[in-house]
Structure 1
Amino acid sequence: MLGSLILTGILSLGITPAIDQGTMESSEFPFQQAVFESGAQLAEEAIRACEMRFGREIQLPPQQPAVAFTHRYGRCHDTHGGLDEHLEIQYRNEFKPENDYRIEVYPLENRQKLEHLSFQAFELTEQTTAKFYKGPLNTLQLLVFEKADWQYLLTTANRASTEIGRRELSEIAQSLIHAVNRKEPAYAKWGTLAVTETKRKYNMDVVDYLYMGRTKISSVLAEEKFKLWLKKEDLEFGVYVTVAYHPVTNQILSMRYEEM
């Protein structure tokens, strides 16, 4: 399994012998044409397609690696309910194979386990833990973390000349976390939990979401209430979900479901 992932990384990261720029410019099939013929699309189109597929906004890291890229493109891998549904955005330099960087974004319910890889866990921010994997030379480097209701995989080449490493990937991940924290309301994490657990409990899609408010019951107990609308084929109904937690430690205490 590890060998196949490394091979996939070698191919998808474009780790190939260096190509002379003059040769590439005079090629009968330019790099960009080959990319789009492989099924890729403009990054913005891929993002919109996946946002429509998952029914919510996908936010990408505002910071990018400080190296030159010649192309940016994407794919929305839509397998109609499969666990591999995700967004992929790739940055490449057709003349410098080591300048290669990829972002993959999975809904948390489709999170990739990657248990066959030897990760190093570390604290990315005070409330976020990340995992980093560095494969053998000429394969890949991978940083994995979660934010809001998404799992992010940041991948780059592992070559002797690569200028992107763990520190650079960590800074990119932190830029996303800070951007989301500035944007999302305080109840967002509990809303994400309510949606994820309700989908798992009922095995149905959540097609609508409404925040009902917060109730502070005591110094050690608070509740956030949400109204979710579920649908699967011809069946649909609403559920009130109440998340109880400790307001100081943010430790979840219980979840209650009340069908309408």
Structure 2
Amino acid sequence: MKKDSCSQAGENNPKINLGAIKVNKSIPLILFLLVIFGVKIGTVSANTKDSPPPSIEETFSEAGFKTVEESVEEFENYFECDVELPRMTPSISFTHRFGRFYEDKQYNMNHSLAIRFVNKDIRENIYKIDIRPLKNKINFKDKLNLNGKEFTLQDGSKAIYFESHQFNFLVFEKNDLQYLLGIYRKVPNTVTPESLVKIANSIK
């Protein structure tokens, strides 16, 4: 049976800093990815000199990430709704993908689903999807007054493209959800704003 549209109480939304601190090539890949994705580094156990470094799977698991399928199911069960993911991905290679459902037990307004695509061999290949109910959405309309650009999707709805310090984003609304697609800015120009629009249009 198809679930209802996603909805949950939550009117006010704190501002979220979509930029990230600058990270150089000397930082290990695992730490680099965790910083880029805003994961609390203190939650990940440090390895000793005699122990091998944790794998990407182990590190993300300790930081609360699971499989995409498990995370989507948690989100759907919590909100009693269906979540459609884009059927397309950026035209760059990925070796791993992870998901995490975040339940905001303190303020009850920042519940979200985070999906992350990474490549263990090409650290610049980073792509992320953040999904939240419309009642908990973040307002990005001010981005149009800065460096943002508006696109029209196939269903007639509007999407906003904008750039931050670390990621280029496309935000749009579909099926009572707000989607935020982000591609790491150091990815070659093969992933354009138009590419993100095509990915958005692949959601049915």
What TM-score does the superposition give when structure 2 sets the normalisation length? 0.71
Task: Tell whether the 8 Å contact from 1:107 to 1:150 is kept in structure 2 after alignment.
Answer: yes
Pairwise CA RMSD of aligned residues? 2.7
CA distance, structure 1, for counterparts of residue 37 and residue 157 of structure 2: 27
Query: Which of 19, 28, 48 is 1:6 aligned to?
Result: 19
For 1:77, give the aligned amino acid: Y
Change (3 A) 1:169 1:122: same
Structure having the larger proportion of residues in strand: 1
Partner in structure 1 of residue 7 of structure 2 = none
Partner in structure 2 of residue 120 of structure 1 = 149
For 1:51, give the aligned amino acid: E
Task: Tell whether the 8 Å contact from 2:94 to 2:117 is kept in structure 1 after alignment.
Answer: yes
CA-to-aligned-CA distance 1:87-137 (integer Å, 9 cap, x gap):
11111112212211111111110111135643221212251110000234x
For 2:154, give the aligned amino acid: T
CA distance, structure 2, for counterparts of residue 98 and residue 41 of structure 1: 22
Q: Which one has a bigger Cα radius of gyration?
A: 1
Query: Which of 122, 128, 134 is 1:108 aligned to?
Result: 134
Partner in structure 1 of residue 46 of structure 2 = none
Partner in structure 1 of residue 44 of structure 2 = none
Partner in structure 2 of residue 195 of structure 1 = none
Task: Tell whether the 8 Å contact from 2:112 to 2:131 is kept in structure 1 after alignment.
Answer: yes
Query: Which of 28, 36, 54 is 2:53 aligned to?
Result: 28
Partner in structure 1 of residue 94 of structure 2 = 69
Task: Tell whether the 8 Å contact from 1:86 to 1:106 is kept in structure 2 after alignment.
Answer: yes
Change (3 A) 1:89 1:8: farther
**Greater CA deviation, 125-134 or 112-121?**
112-121
1:88 paired to 2:101? no
- SS of aligned partner of 1:173: helix
Give the aligned length: 164
- SS of aligned partner of 2:173: strand
Change (3 A) 1:82 1:92: same
1:173 paired to 2:200? yes
CA distance, structure 1, for counterparts of residue 114 and residue 179 of structure 2: 10
CA distance, structure 2, for counterparts of residue 156 and residue 64 of structure 1: 10
Structure 1 residues not aligned, in runs of 5+: 15-25, 180-260
CA-to-aligned-CA distance 1:35-73 (integer Å, 9 cap, x gap):
111111111110000001111111111111121111111
- SS of aligned partner of 1:91: strand
Query: Which of 60, 63, 68 is 1:43 aligned to?
Result: 68
CA distance, structure 2, for counterparts of residue 116 and residue 49 of structure 1: 32
Q: CA deviation at 1:74?
A: 0.4
Q: Provide the identity percentage.
A: 27
User: Bigger relative contact order, structure 1 or 2, given CA contacts below 8 A and separation 6+?
Assistant: 2
Q: CA deviation at 1:167?
A: 1.7
Q: CA deviation at 1:85?
A: 0.5
CA distance, structure 1, for counterparts of residue 81 and residue 22 of structure 2: 29
Task: Tell whether the 8 Å contact from 2:118 to 2:126 is kept in structure 1 after alignment.
Answer: yes
Task: Tell whether the 8 Å contact from 2:18 to 2:164 is kept in structure 1 after alignment.
Answer: no
